[in-house]
Structure 1
Amino acid sequence: MLATIAIIIISVFMLLFAINHFFGNKDLYEKTSHIPGPLAFPLIGSAYLFIGDISSTNILQKISKVVYTYASPCRFIVGINVSVLIHEPEHIKTVLLSSKTTEKHAIYDFGKVWIGNGLVTAPRDVWRVHRKLIQPAFVPKILHSFVAIFQKTSILLVNEWAGQVDGPEFEVYSYLIFTSFRNICESSLGMPVTTKTKPIEQYIEACERVFEMAALRPTKPWLHSDTIFNMTPKSKIFYEAVKYLKSFTMNVIEERRNYLKSESFGNEDEIEKKTFLDLMLEMADNGHFTDEEVREHSDTMITAGYDTVARVNCFTLLMLASHPDIQAERTRPSDPGHTRSIKPRGQIFRRAPGSTLNTKSPTFTGVTSVFHVDRGNSVGRYPLTHREQNISDKL
């Protein structure tokens, strides 16, 4: 009985909030009314399109269908949120180059408990200041110095795959994720990774748990509220993973800070090739960043540097396996006069019959950007991407 009363009270409050927000957004509805899009009803918008299956896979497919049905741009309203979907390259270029589209959508708030105000999640005012401060870490001279690291880890990856030649199909994701992690740790944090130790395995596993939950919550409206989410069993797993990720990064930062102050550091090559973390710590010593901000940007760098690269590489290998003619073209020597002999080996990557991307690998249905318009007439952008969940959807 009490549970029924509680549900009724919560439902009434949610309805009142929706009605208030709807009329508060009335001006935005009218301003975007000339943009074509699926039929939208009061309060629910076009949410009826998702009836029957609210998994992230189905939601992405439905939104993709809207994108391919209507010309760019098109209006898409879900509940009380007004979004504009664009997929024409020129439209995307125009919006991305605008200084008015740097504000993040509220969906990024789900990751703030971990990476706080890192560049991916930071509000506009913080993003502008921090981006200018961090920019020197990405000058071409520094980036070019990483090539040797990438070459070294690529050779290690090829050697690891050598044992799989002429063997059965195998999962490439675990190899690629570790190689990408090696790259970002050594190039940006100054932390060479030679073997997959237990702490590193735990870090990667913790990242997966956080990513899965961050992808799940946007598809479950009742989990948008932190209060409700914190009452679910999965929230404990999420916060434990976040706690481990933060402690891992803080340990790396402290070790690097101590090394920079030690007598071991100081040779000409190290001073010339300062890592991203080195520059962050230098600016922290000058009062530009707090230790927590250094941690937030470092976690953002690790995440963006290894997870995204590994998934794109998975997708690239799938495409090469699906198009043997392109694969053959890409594996030919580009310079006929080169000194190193490359023996033809036929098709290096083959796609297993009936195979698809593993649930941990990326799934793409096109290049689309979503721009959310809020009541203050600011525009927040977020990419239309998809990540399969391994965790239970029964929340």
Structure 2
Amino acid sequence: MTVLVLAMIFSVVFAIWWYWWRPCPRSPRTYPGALPIIGHIVEAIKYRNDIWSYMEHVADDITDECVQLKMGPHIIYVVSDPSEISVIANTCLKKSFFYKFLVDLLGNGLLIADVPTWKIHRKLLNPAFNQKVLNTFVNVMNVEARILVTQLKPVAGQGPVDVKQFIIKYVLRSVCRTSLGLEADDQHMIDKEYAQAIEETIAIVIKRGLNVALHPPFIYNITAMRKREQALITKIKNILNIIIQKRKSDLKSTNNKYMTDFNDESVNGKFKPILDLMLHLSDEQQVLSDDDIRQHIDTFVFASYDTTSAMLQTTLLVLGSHLDVQERVYKEIKEILGKNEELTKYDLPKLVYLEAVIKEVLRLYSIAPWVSRQLDTDVVFPKYTLRAGSTCILVLYNLHRHPSWGPDAKQFKPERWLNPDTLPTNPNVYVPFGIGKRNCIGKQYAMMTLKTSVAHIVRNFQLFADISHLNWKYEVVLKPTKPLVSFTLRS
């Protein structure tokens, strides 16, 4: 009997192994380092605390190619060809299993929503992110950028300082005021408990994601880490629910109706917080629930907290490492603004060189070096077929260093953006905010935040840094490990 059971187990294991590892003439090549049965799992464990080093190595080994990584029976395709990445991004909209660890925090927010929900909600929320609405945020962005400058002044002349906490607090304040409509007096609701809860929750999600042993829910759910995560998420939900109800009450008490026309400029200089559109969709059109609203706000705050703050930290490091570029940015700011302290919606498009610098930073230092999708159908290319049920990693890092950028693709050259004729003709080789239909809804918002904050900082300080010795870590996005910048007040 024992022999029969063992034989059956062996047969099942062999069948699974043969199904996933059988020779297939139309499969991409397997990346070196795969062991029998377990594949690249040893590599995943070896690099669990520095996944970026391994993936950067894989990315550097492939150009316009696809390879497969094997994690036991699971296949992960790594794709670097621009055309193939575009096809996958636009036909396979389902996010991969990597994103499941964010479900408890973000629910069905746009970042990780199932495809049917994403299609409906993306269309509903698009009007809140058009340029006319974003222009109404400029005053708030100015106010928050001035606060950031004030907070940086005491460290000027004190040598290198870690700018991470300064930047994170600035981004969090700015995104909460523009998305939630918070007045400065109400900011205390976000500054402490919410900020700390978001930061700690993200740390837990990352720690779990990098530890394969904690992936199975039946193991993770009995850990102290899971209990702590649940407590933090409950706190986040409660705080946002208070803010949402307060916004509803404020609008009703002043007899203001929700902003329903998001295609016109706001009146009397009042900006249109994104929450107003969501409340309108909830109360008057009944197409969003309070949970939907909270999940979308959580997603927007989470994305800004992580992505925009990493982009701004990197931009300051680059400017501090290229003093000639920084001086040119400073001269442009002085020329455009003169003695005015505030940027206006008319000034931002005129900061052409600053925009070129930011674009080049986002190209060379990809904050989102890859995105991943779950293949729900076979994807057929001339050289190979990618099998349904597998995971696909789209290496955006390679697109930004693609040969079509020219022989200087790995060099920092903002000037390339000043002459459109020198840029690649393929639009798929520059995708700092994601590629395909599920790209970032807040990309214009992020660019406005970056331009406003950098303009205020460079106008007030000279920056000094050395990006050549910087290390990077991947935690949902790619971040500098210790962003040290020295500030000197300008006379």
Letter in 2 for 1:224: H
Report if the CA contact (8 A) 1:25-1:375 is conserved: no
Of the structure 1 ranges 75-84 and 181-190, higher mean CA displacement relative to structure 2 is found in 75-84
Q: 1:195 to 1:156 in 2, by over 3 A?
A: farther
Which residue, 56, 76, 79 being the options, matches 2:69? 76
Aligned equivalent of 1:258: 249
CA distance in 1, matches of 2:254, 2:166: 36
Aligned equivalent of 2:55: 63
Which residue, 30, 34, 42 being the options, matches 2:28? 34
Is residue 294 of structure 1 aligned with residue 296 of structure 2? no
Letter in 2 for 1:339: G
Aligned equivalent of 1:369: 370
CA distance in 2, matches of 1:31, 1:287: 52
Letter in 2 for 1:278: D
Letter in 2 for 1:251: I
Q: Counterparts of 1:38-49 in structure 2 under 5 Å?
A: 38-49=32-43
CA distance in 2, matches of 1:18, 1:123: 32
Kindly report the root-mean-square deviation, in angstroms, between the aligned alpha carbons of the 2 structures. 3.5
CA distance in 2, matches of 1:387, 1:191: 29
Report if the CA contact (8 A) 1:75-1:84 is conserved: yes
Report if the CA contact (8 A) 2:79-2:392 is conserved: no
Deviation readout 1:301-356 (Å, 9 max, x if unpaired) = 111123321121112112222333322232223575863399xxxxxxxxxxxxxx
Q: 1:73 to 1:189 in 2, by over 3 A?
A: same
Cα drift, residue 378 of structure 1: 6.0
Aligned identity (percent) is 23
Report if the CA contact (8 A) 2:76-2:390 is conserved: no
Is residue 188 of structure 1 aligned with residue 167 of structure 2? no
Q: Counterparts of 1:251-330 in structure 2 under 5 Å?
A: 251-263=242-254, 265=256, 269=267, 273-285=271-283, 286-330=285-329
Q: Secondary structure at the match of 2:76?
A: strand
Report if the CA contact (8 A) 1:19-1:43 is conserved: no
Cα drift, residue 300 of structure 1: 0.8
Q: Which stretches in structure 2 are left out of the alignment for 5+ residues?
A: 1-8, 260-265, 342-364, 378-387, 396-472, 477-491
Cα drift, residue 195 of structure 1: 8.1
Q: 1:65 to 1:207 in 2, by over 3 A?
A: same
CA distance in 2, matches of 1:245, 1:276: 18
Cα drift, residue 132 of structure 1: 0.9
Deviation readout 1:29-55 (Å, 9 max, x if unpaired) = 83762346325344322223345x343
Of the structure 1 ranges 15-24 and 157-166, higher mean CA displacement relative to structure 2 is found in 15-24
Letter in 2 for 1:387: E
TM-score (norm 1): 0.77
Q: Secondary structure at the match of 1:30?
A: coil
CA distance in 2, matches of 1:176, 1:223: 31
Deviation readout 1:356-376 (Å, 9 max, x if unpaired) = xxxxxxxx6786425455575
Report if the CA contact (8 A) 2:220-2:226 is conserved: yes
Aligned equivalent of 1:351: none
Cα drift, residue 277 of structure 1: 0.8
CA distance in 1, matches of 2:268, 2:83: 42
Q: Counterparts of 1:115-130 in structure 2 under 5 Å?
A: 115-130=106-121
Q: Secondary structure at the match of 1:386?
A: strand
Q: Secondary structure at the match of 1:159?
A: helix
Deviation readout 1:108-156 (Å, 9 max, x if unpaired) = 1111111111111111111111111111111111011111211121122
Q: Counterparts of 1:167-246 in structure 2 under 5 Å?
A: 167-193=158-184, 197=188, 200-246=191-237
Report if the CA contact (8 A) 1:60-1:386 is conserved: yes
Cα drift, residue 85 of structure 1: 2.0
Q: Secondary structure at the match of 2:159?
A: coil
CA distance in 2, matches of 1:15, 1:194: 67
Q: Secondary structure at the match of 1:231?
A: coil
Deviation readout 1:246-270 (Å, 9 max, x if unpaired) = 1111111111111122226369738
Report if the CA contact (8 A) 1:102-1:381 is conserved: no
CA distance in 2, matches of 1:15, 1:235: 35
Report if the CA contact (8 A) 2:109-2:292 is conserved: yes
Give aligned pairs, total: 351
Letter in 2 for 1:65: H
Q: Counterparts of 1:107-146 in structure 2 under 5 Å?
A: 107-146=98-137
Letter in 1 for 2:49: S
Cα drift, residue 188 of structure 1: 1.2
Q: 1:104 to 1:304 in 2, by over 3 A?
A: same
Q: 1:273 to 1:45 in 2, by over 3 A?
A: same
CA distance in 2, matches of 1:22, 1:375: 21
Cα drift, residue 183 of structure 1: 1.2
Cα drift, residue 91 of structure 1: 4.8
Q: 1:186 to 1:19 in 2, by over 3 A?
A: farther
CA distance in 2, matches of 1:17, 1:320: 58
Q: Which stretches in structure 1 are left out of the alignment for 5+ residues?
A: 1-13, 343-363, 389-395
CA distance in 2, matches of 1:230, 1:275: 37
